[in-house]
Amino acid sequence: MQISVLTEHDKLETRVALSPDTVKKLVSNGLNVIIQSGCGQQSNYSDQQYENAGATVTRTISDKVLSSDILVTVKRPDDKVLAKLSKSAIVIGQMDPYVNPAEMEEYTKYGHQLFSMELMPRITRAQSMDVLSSQSNLAGYKAVIDSTAEYKKAIPMMMTAAGTIAPAKIFIMGVGVAGLQAIATARRLGGIVTATDVRPATKEQVESLGAKFIAVEDEEFKAAETAAGYAKEMSKEYQEKQTQLVSDHIKNQDIVITTALIPGRKAPILISKKMVETMKEGSVIADLATERGGNVEIAQPGKNVMHNGVTILGTENFARLLPTDASNLYAQNVMKFLDEIIDNETQQLSINYDDEIIKGILISRGGKLVHPMYQKGD
């Protein structure tokens, strides 16, 4: 059984799909691992570290690589590589599955089995494979760190002989994994933290971290969560009430972190241009949803925008700014999934297509889109 890791096709991507530690474990289990030279450089993993872990390092995408049983990636691989890769190969990575079906259809024509790690079911058995959680955790932390670095004042209260410095007010919008880590980080830095989310279950989580919960808590709010734990899209009436509440609250905030995403849809606008203009000069907003259109109306993907004295960070994927940790966690997620599809005794593929995890993340098989999201009427 042979597994390959190539340099990421996205030039902005700093992460790598397998770390030396995970390679060592895979090799000790009897698997062959091929690493493209330099693919771990931006994550501070050298070719020598991979070789010491037991991997074969190659400078070119050789015939041996292209005949691999499994290709592991962080982002969707280059279709030119897929065109040459053995049709029997399995491709595992973040496939960006919510793009339009016609585009995904192009990736199925090569015949590979494509597994999209973003779709990992939110079940107890799959927690160790949940790449969204592992990466969002780092993103929430990094968003606060970068925002406080951009903010030109101190974060905690400081009492000095010359006077008292008031603590910064930090508002977290969206209390998923990223939001919870953002709250915890902001609290550790000494900020006065408030947070909002449309899911009622998050109120207790927010308060347990020492932050204040801000939301319109009406009847719609009480039923605003899917069975999978995601936020439902709220009615126009609720959105208007929540917008007014947020608008009144945001005027006095120094730092705002937005993290709201709805699977398969454009990110909801939480902060309008008008709301930005009510904020104090020197305030900072970090938008973690710019890759999906953004939560801030005037945010720009990959750029920092200054508007009316307010800085809006438009970093695409904050997790990639912590590449060593992000790669290590992602690699651990992938390794746990490999344990699900490779028999430990025979070291051969053993995939149960009726398994909840497999059905949850298998995008294509046999040249066809097989995931329920692509089926007509779903």
pLDDT digits (tens, 9 = 90+) for 259-270: 998 877 889 899
How many CB atoms sit inside 10 A of residue 309's CB? 12
Beta strands (DSSP E) in the chain are 2-5, 32-36, 56-58, 70-75, 90-94, 113-116, 158-160, 163-165, 169-173, 192-196, 212-213, 255-258, 284-287, 304-307, 310-313, 362-365, 368-369
Instruction: Name the catalytic one among 41, 67, 230, 247.
Output: 230
How many CB atoms sit inside 10 A of residue 308's CB? 13
pLDDT at residue 44, as a whole number: 97
pLDDT at residue 378, as a whole number: 45
Q: Which residues of 197-224 are buried (b: 16+ CB within 10 A; e: fewer)?
A: bbbeebbebbeebebebbbbeeebbeeb
Least confident range of 47-61, 88-102, 243-257, 308-322: 88-102
pLDDT at residue 271 is higher than 50:
yes
Element (H, E) at 126: none
CA dist list (Å): 156 to 2, 101, 148, 196, 287: 52, 48, 11, 21, 23
**29 class by beta-carbon count within 10 Å (0-12 exposed, 13-18 middle, 19+ buried):** middle
Q: What domains appear along the chain, each with residue ranges and CATH number?
A: 2-119+343-373 (3.40.50.720), 138-321 (3.40.50.720)
Contact between 323 and 139 (Cβ < 8 Å): no
Contact between 247 and 273 (Cβ < 8 Å): no
pLDDT at residue 354, as a whole number: 96
Q: pLDDT tens for residues 73-117? A: 999 998 889 999 999 999 999 998 887 778 888 888 899 999 999
Instruction: Read off the pLDDT band of 236 (50, 70, 90).
Output: confident
Is 133 annotated as catalytic? Answer: yes
In DSSP notation, 88-111 reads: T-EEEEE--TTS-HHHHHHHHTT-
Instruction: Name the catalytic one among 122, 128, 239, 272.
Output: 122
Is 230 annotated as catalytic? Answer: yes
Is 19 annotated as catalytic? Answer: no
Contacts (Cβ under 8 Å, ≥6 apart) of 208:
none
Prediction pTM value: 0.92
Instruction: Read off the pLDDT band of 224 (50, 70, 90).
Output: low
Percent of the chain predicted with pLDDT > 90:
78
Distance CA 312, CA 307 (A): 8
Contacts (Cβ under 8 Å, ≥6 apart) of 321:
14, 142, 146, 315
Instruction: Name the catalytic one among 127, 128, 239, 272.
Output: 127
For residue 172, which of 217, 202, 138 has the smallest C-alpha distance? Answer: 202
Q: DSSP label at 213?
A: E
Is 127 annotated as catalytic? Answer: yes
Instruction: Name the catalytic one among 130, 146, 254, 287.
Output: 130
pLDDT at residue 2 is higher than 90:
yes
Least confident range of 224-228, 299-303, 344-348: 224-228
Distance CA 173, CA 19 (A): 33
Q: Which residue has the tokens 């330099």?
A: 38
Provide the phi-psi class of 49: left if phi over 0, else alpha when psi is between -120 and 50, else beta: alpha
Is 146 annotated as catalytic? Answer: no
Residue type, position 198, single letter: V
Q: Which residues of 105-119 are buried (b: 16+ CB within 10 A; e: fewer)?
A: eebbebbbbbbbbbb
Is the model more confident about 378 or about 344?
344
Which residues on adjacent β-strands are paired with residue 114?
91, 364
Instruction: Name the catalytic one among 19, 43, 94, 133.
Output: 133
pLDDT at residue 232, as a whole number: 66
